[in-house]
A = this chain, B = another copy of it.
Amino acid sequence: MAKEGAGMTEETEYMIDRHVGKDADCSADSPHDAKEMRAVILSGFGGLNKLRVSRKPMPEPQEGEVKIRVKACGLNFLDLMVRQGTIENPPKPPLVPGFECSGIVESVGENTKGFEIGDRVMAFVNYNAWAEVVCTPAEFVHKMPDRMTFAEAAAFALNFVTAYMMLFEVANLREGMSVLVHSAGGGVGQAVAQLCSTVPNVTVFGVASCFKHAAIRDSVTHLFDRNADYIQEVKRISPEGVDVLLDSLCGENTGKGLSLLKPLGTYILYGASNMVTGETKSFFSFAKSWWQVEKVNPIKLYEENKVIAGFSLLNLLFKQGRCGLVRSVMDKLLCLYDQKKIKPVVDSLWALEEVKDAMQRIHDRGNIGKLILDVEKSPTPLMASDSTETSEAGEEEEEPEGDNDSKERMPFIH
């Protein structure tokens, strides 16, 4: 049973016992009337030890907002960067991480149009998704198809909208083109592969760790080992290169990527996961990675007829106000889902209390598809696939930082 500290604030989180989740569900006759909720808290930037599950005051919807009883949350590579503080202008911790969730509308604020209590929804959230309850403006909320599960919905929005907008809004993918995608086994990678299959005669080159190949071989045309010289392999198959290159790694790969483009080809950077190397990250090593990113001379683009783009869906939504455009994209995606042309791939489900294990798995690039935090799940691993290897852990760089707790690599619950 959870101990309730008098005068608890966001700053006074405490570890919750492994049985708290279940106990809380059982002990409250009407959990929806509770004054508090469970949430994952990041107490400061750094390693896994900065994460705790804690109680927070129940949020209430403001004008134009929807209050969602969360069923499932998406875990993205970006969440690791948030934890390490390696994003642009991170908010001040403590904070509740998480950018997307699915659930049921519990109430709506004043002047909130389009949603009713009981609606099954998926939502983009500007932090705070990893909690039992979330409030977010209605323009970031989308109704779920009837046959979509909450886990699927939490795996859908960010990855498929990102993949769709890169392929069709930025790169103008058309019949007969070719696409190379890094991290082909990840959530966006699998969404890209499925969306490419909706266009006739598109060749997909996927790059992924060897141990994922068996699981994802059917989703792409050609599959390469990320540790092999895939540049040469692609050029052997397609000497002119590819029309679209989707890169979530950044760093030293920018130049390589541009060299792989056909004339009029488009390189899209949509993440910077190479900036996350070890468990924690000193400011110095972050700054070093940032400035080491190869800059592009526009005149080189002119001579080679090439296009380079960046894509960040979260910035598009939360900084640049493109909710209307995203809604129109979501409508198209839900049509494709209804036609059974696309379907989110869920790697595994984790309880909130297992967030460290889940993060370690995405850090080790062990996942195939999306990692989901299942808010109602008790802390016992339930794998959607049996691929539990973390064969890349050995590649990680040594962590010289003193604040790195080696115990972080241990499972969260002993």
Determine the interface band of chain A, counting residues with CB < 8 A from chain B.
35 or more
Q: How many copies does the complex hold?
A: 2
Task: Quote the shortest CB–CB distance from A374 to chain B (angstroms).
Answer: 30
Given contacts A263-B320, A322-B264, contact A308 B309 (CB under 8 A): yes
Task: Quote the shortest CB–CB distance from A279 to chain B (angstroms).
Answer: 22
Task: List CB contacts (< 8 Å) of A248-285 with chain B.
Answer: 250, 254, 263-264, 266, 269-272
When distances are taken between beta carbons in the complex, the residues of chain B under 8 Å from A269 are 298-299, 301-302
Q: Are B320 and A311 in contact (CB under 8 A)?
A: no
Given contacts A305-B320, A307-B170, A309-B307, contact A295 B293 (CB under 8 A): no
Task: Quote the shortest CB–CB distance from A290 to chain B (angstroms).
Answer: 7
Is A376 close to B, CB under 8 A? Answer: no
Is A303 close to B, CB under 8 A? Answer: yes
Q: Are A310 and B316 in contact (CB under 8 A)?
A: no
Q: Are B307 and A308 in contact (CB under 8 A)?
A: yes
Task: List CB contacts (< 8 Å) of A281-327 with chain B.
Answer: 290, 293-312, 315-316, 320, 322, 325
CA A156 to CA B299, docked complex, whole Å: 25
Q: Are A169 and B306 in contact (CB under 8 A)?
A: no
Q: Are B306 and A301 in contact (CB under 8 A)?
A: no
CA A41 to CA B350, docked complex, whole Å: 75
Given contacts A170-B264, A316-B263, A322-B263, contact A303 B297 (CB under 8 A): no
Q: Are B306 and A310 in contact (CB under 8 A)?
A: yes
When distances are taken between beta carbons in the complex, the residues of chain B under 8 Å from A308 are 296, 298, 301, 307-309
What are 8 A-B pairs at a CB distance below 8 A?
Answer: A263-B322, A264-B316, A269-B301, A302-B312, A305-B311, A305-B316, A307-B308, A307-B309
